[in-house]
Structure 1
Amino acid sequence: MYVRRILTALVLATAALFATVPPAAGADPGEGGGATAAGDTASAPRAASPASFTISGTDLHDAQIARFGDTYYMYGSMYGCGFEWFVKSTPWCGFGVSTAPAPQGPWTAPKALFDPTTVDPWTDDSWQDTCGASGRGCFNPRMIRRSGWGRDDGAFVLWFNSPQHYAADGSHAYNAMGCASAEGPCGPAPVTDGFYRKPALSVCKGNGDFGIIESGTPGGHPAIVCTLPGSSQLNIEELDAWGSGGTGVGVRKVAGLKKIEGPGGYWDPVQRLYVLTYADPACGYCTGTPIGYATAPSLYSGWAAPGNLGWSAPAFGRRIFNGNSCGGQPRTVTVLDGRPWQIIDLWLGTRNEAAAATHLVPLAYTPTPGVAGDGQLWRPPLRLDC
């Protein structure tokens, strides 16, 4: 009888032990039929990160990809007509747009957003003269839609830069056009809902690359993030209710950055911060440019990039999170279906880049501890899984 009681006690104790063993590390507490508390997103399975992908054979470069409705649109500079950067009297091919049912494609053949031979209202010459005759080109087509902010009328506005405007009379290089739809055409009348404006800007008054950052505040206006002459600094300025000019609200010398280009950024709703990426340093058509980052809790204040310590230490030692941008050059960030993607041009290193491919890598910000001089391993919070 005594032995039987001992055996029974051992069986019960063993059963109790297995009933309270916690799930293995990394296991979802809800697996195996167990219930989780309603709204417990911390224990819910996390969606797998999508894979990087390359778009080849599409003559659209320094591109932006956006989703409007159920269709994805890719905007970019075209080279197929023979444009060669900084070769005078080269033909300028204009900006094109392609469409696809998914970011990975298949993409349609590009069509022009406006005719390069039409008049540039700022100079009264043609866009072919402004962008082609000098060889300086026109770049960075960025389409925005006034939806959920400003006039909130669903209208489309195309932004781009024309370095010749700055070279000719010191005007900033940026331009805004009204468009009839997400596929164009864009420009002044007779285009439906069309217009041309040299944007009123007081913070972004340069001639360099730029990107558009969406606001993380409901109803907040997007902002232009721009490089100043010679890429000597990076500035951000809020767009007005029309999306075709600035409000004067902004920040200058973001994180003290210099000699960079290809800026872009996004709002991370989980970490509650803005994340900015850029080519560091600036480099024309490079086949492997380092990419850096900066963050801020507010779009117009608090920007910081990791510093460095040591005699003759490079300033970018900790802000670089990939040394060669997957063999290309970072151009901007695009947010698709709530997920940010780094857009990278896989340049050929030539003055005509018609055959260059576009590479997209998903971005995810994972906070990591550590400061310069702590003697610990440094793991940047961003990475490129090429």
Structure 2
Amino acid sequence: MSIRGRFTALLLAVLIAVLAGPALAPAARAAVDTDLTNFDPAGNQVVRFDTDGNAVDAHDGAITRFGDTYYLYGTSYDCGYQWQNNTTFCGFKVYSSPDLAHWTDQGYVVPPRDCRYCFRPHVVHDAATHRYVMWVNDQDAADKFRVYTSTRPTGPFTEQPVPDLPDQTHCTADLDVFVDADGAGYLVCSNAGWHIAVIKLTSDYLRAAGPYDITGVTRVEAPSLFKRNGVYYLTMSDPNCGYCTGTGTSYLTASSPLGPWHGRDAWTAEDGALVARGGLYGLSQEGEDWTDYTFSFDVAPLPTATGTAAQAGFALRMNTDDHGYLFLLNGSASGKGTLSVLRRAGATTASHVVPLAEPIVAGEWHHVSVTAAGSTFTTAIDGVQVDTYTDTDATYPAGKVGFREWNGADLESARFDNVQVTSSSGATLLSDDFSGGFSRWVVPTSGVKISDDSCGGQPAQVATLPQRRGGPKYLYFSDLWDFHTNEALANFYWQPLSFASDGSIQPLTCANTRIHLDPGHPGRQRPIPGLDQTSGVAGFRTACDIAGDERREQTFTAGRNGRLTSLAVTAFKDGTEEGRVLRTPPSDPLTVELRDGPRTLWSTTVPADTIGWSARDVVLHPRVRVTRGHRYALVLGSATAVGCYGFAFDDRDPYPGGTSAVSTDAGVSFTPEPGRDLKFHTEVS
């Protein structure tokens, strides 16, 4: 072909590429399949490390997509914040990722400061103002929440005026922020009665606009709102449980963000009787001003979900859920029954327990009556008086009647029938055998459960991640708490939700999953100059026992001759904790030694206050010469008598050039741990 012919062909190829390529090629490249690894093959939780090799320290927050990048916002715990024990708030952090697997630490969007209760950062984008709006929960704020804005998703964020929420919503705790397709914004928040409220926001998402709805479920928190195929979903922690290692996840649905919200009716009519399965309180429609009366009914307590007990709950003088007098009729397989009487105000403020002369057997019917006269309550079972209780404070002088069954993991249920409420003068106030349904009652609603334990933690969010092709991905996110007051070591569970043909959410699988992202492209760890040896960053978990006579060792084989300029080992500090009291960190430094057989080549101490509570690389600079093919040992120890230093480890032998060993005699002898390696890397110049 002539030069002119080749030039013409080349020009034609370029023209075709210009016309066709950019429209197709970038989109074809801008997709990735990401493995969301939550557990190792043995089922152990694994730590997610960022692109610098440090544990991702952003909890109880949210994942969102801005542009072609995914962002994770959350509460940091590395500095030592301990819930209910100190005010050392570590700040809110943000990480960015192209693929949900490789996360880069972008720093603080709100820096550390004193705060007793700062959690749950959620960020949305205001398309009209081109600002990013962040809501956070802060119990010290005038409205229990703070609002910040920024021109970039990574900040810096600037605080805005108090958001001025409606008093009637009583919102104080967990939150989510949702922006609908029409640009309308909504705040979703937990309130003092552990209901969930949905509040419409102003067009700039900075304040409440006025309209709101309060869902009928109780004892829930950690809400998250999303929309799919015209249906709104509201997921939540069910029941509420701070830092629990396994509380359930439920959801409600609605045709509008402001409800009404629907879940599973906790009451059903079966064989002419009411069967209550969880749902907590269902109160009578009437009775707000009832004072002295007798509440009677037939009841058959049913086995709890675990079958260990049988319980039926009923309430008097209760106009607001869990604010009145609660009675619990309890039975067990091994002993006689009991009657518990509790004065409730969102928590028990007074109570006593009465042993019964006869057993309460699951499934057997009893007739119960309680007479309220002034501040005294007299209870009879099967016509025999069993208790008299007097509230000397006369806390609740009037109110409705109802039934209550706990909807936690050990689900409670009972049958009720033939209800009668008669006044002190003998007038009938309420009579119901449930043959006509539940029109006389406010029927409690329970969420539809998709997990009993949130895969080992507590739900945080369902992230709506729009895609270029097809509908959005709905990424479920739970924090795998360890039930400590400092949650720097908490891991994460992430899974794209699946839906049945009727729109119901399928139960969580609690396994490793894969997600197809478009946009998305493979990320990578940041390169380490001079890297010689490494055990990697994937599949590690944590433990803490370096203290006193306990030592940890990791051997490695130098890959080249030269100077060991840098040595990094993942470590953290921790302390013992009884219940929810302050955890005590180590009092002595961490010691690090580099050994060649019995000979110590180099050693140093790392002060406790320079080591964080999350698993991060401790980077040291021995600057000693090493020989290619020669094996060396890295030894970690501490003389501390309180607390401990922790490490990250993997039992799948990620580093074949060495192994871990443990000493219980202050380093005199070490026992190898075949297959186990600590997380470390070395640099040789």
Same fold at TM > 0.5: yes
How far apart in 2 are the matches of 1:242 and 1:205? Answer: 22
Residue from 99, 111, 114 that aligns with 2:110 = 114
Identity, in percent, stands at 29
Q: Which amino acid aligns with 1:220?
A: G
Q: Give matches, 1:269-308, under 5 Å.
A: 269=229, 272-308=230-266
| Preserved contact between residue 109 and residue 154 of structure 2 (Cα < 8 Å) | yes
Q: Give yes or no for the alignment of 1:102 onto 2:99.
A: yes
Q: Which amino acid aligns with 1:243?
A: Y
Deviations 1:308-366 (A, max 9, x none): 33645212477222111111110122111211111100111111111111221212332
Q: Which amino acid aligns with 2:109?
A: L
Q: Which amino acid aligns with 1:327?
A: G
SS in 1 for 2:264: coil
Residue from 65, 68, 84 that aligns with 1:67 = 65
SS in 2 for 1:278: strand
RMSD: 2.4
How far apart in 2 are the matches of 1:60 and 1:323? Answer: 24
| C-alpha deviation, 1:159, in angstroms | 0.7
Structure 2 gap segments, 5+ residues each: 1-32, 39-46, 49-54, 269-273, 280-406, 412-445, 467-471, 511-685
Match of 2:489 in 1: 355
Match of 1:333 in 2: 462
Between Structure 1 and Structure 2, the one with more strand by share is 2
| Preserved contact between residue 51 and residue 361 of structure 1 (Cα < 8 Å) | no
Deviations 1:66-121 (A, max 9, x none): 11112211100000001000003x411010011111112x111351113334xxxx
Residue from 212, 221, 234 that aligns with 1:261 = 221
Structure 1 gap segments, 5+ residues each: 1-48, 118-127, 166-170, 188-194, 370-379
Structure 1 304/367 Cα, relative in aligned 2: closer, same or farther at 3 Å? farther
Q: Give yes or no for the alignment of 1:385 onto 2:472.
A: no
Q: Which amino acid aligns with 2:111?
A: D
Residue from 83, 102, 125 that aligns with 1:85 = 83
Match of 1:125 in 2: none
| Preserved contact between residue 497 and residue 505 of structure 2 (Cα < 8 Å) | no
Deviations 1:221-251 (A, max 9, x none): 12111111141x2110111111111111221
Q: Give yes or no for the alignment of 1:161 onto 2:137.
A: yes
Match of 1:199 in 2: 163
| Preserved contact between residue 60 and residue 110 of structure 1 (Cα < 8 Å) | no
How far apart in 1 are the matches of 2:78 and 2:157? Answer: 20
Match of 2:74 in 1: 76
Q: Which amino acid aligns with 1:332?
A: Q
| Preserved contact between residue 460 and residue 477 of structure 2 (Cα < 8 Å) | yes
How far apart in 1 are the matches of 2:460 and 2:110? Answer: 22
Q: Give yes or no for the alignment of 1:227 onto 2:224.
A: no
Residue from 172, 189, 199 that aligns with 1:237 = 199
Match of 1:11 in 2: none
Match of 1:172 in 2: 143
Structure 1 244/53 Cα, relative in aligned 2: closer, same or farther at 3 Å? farther
How far apart in 2 are the matches of 1:113 and 1:362? Answer: 27
| Preserved contact between residue 226 and residue 234 of structure 1 (Cα < 8 Å) | yes
How far apart in 2 are the matches of 1:96 and 1:204? Answer: 29
Q: Which amino acid aligns with 2:277?
A: A
How far apart in 2 are the matches of 1:85 and 1:219? Answer: 38
How far apart in 1 are the matches of 2:143 and 2:463? Answer: 24
Residue from 157, 165, 169 that aligns with 1:186 = 157
| C-alpha deviation, 1:140, in angstroms | 0.5
Deviations 1:31-52 (A, max 9, x none): xxxxxxxxxxxxxxxxxx9865
Structure showing greater Rg:
2
| Preserved contact between residue 172 and residue 205 of structure 1 (Cα < 8 Å) | no
Question: TM-score scaled by structure 2?
Answer: 0.40
| Preserved contact between residue 52 and residue 385 of structure 1 (Cα < 8 Å) | no
Between Structure 1 and Structure 2, the one with more helix by share is 1
Structure 1 50/321 Cα, relative in aligned 2: closer, same or farther at 3 Å? farther
Deviations 1:175-233 (A, max 9, x none): 1111131001112xxxxxxx422102226442110112231xx42312111111141x2
SS in 2 for 1:326: coil
Q: Which amino acid aligns with 1:115?
A: P
| C-alpha deviation, 1:153, in angstroms | 2.6
Question: TM-score scaled by structure 1?
Answer: 0.70
How far apart in 2 are the matches of 1:208 and 1:93? Answer: 19
Q: Which amino acid aligns with 2:88?
A: P
Q: Give yes or no for the alignment of 1:314 onto 2:310.
A: no
How far apart in 2 are the matches of 1:52 and 1:383? Answer: 17
SS in 1 for 2:160: strand
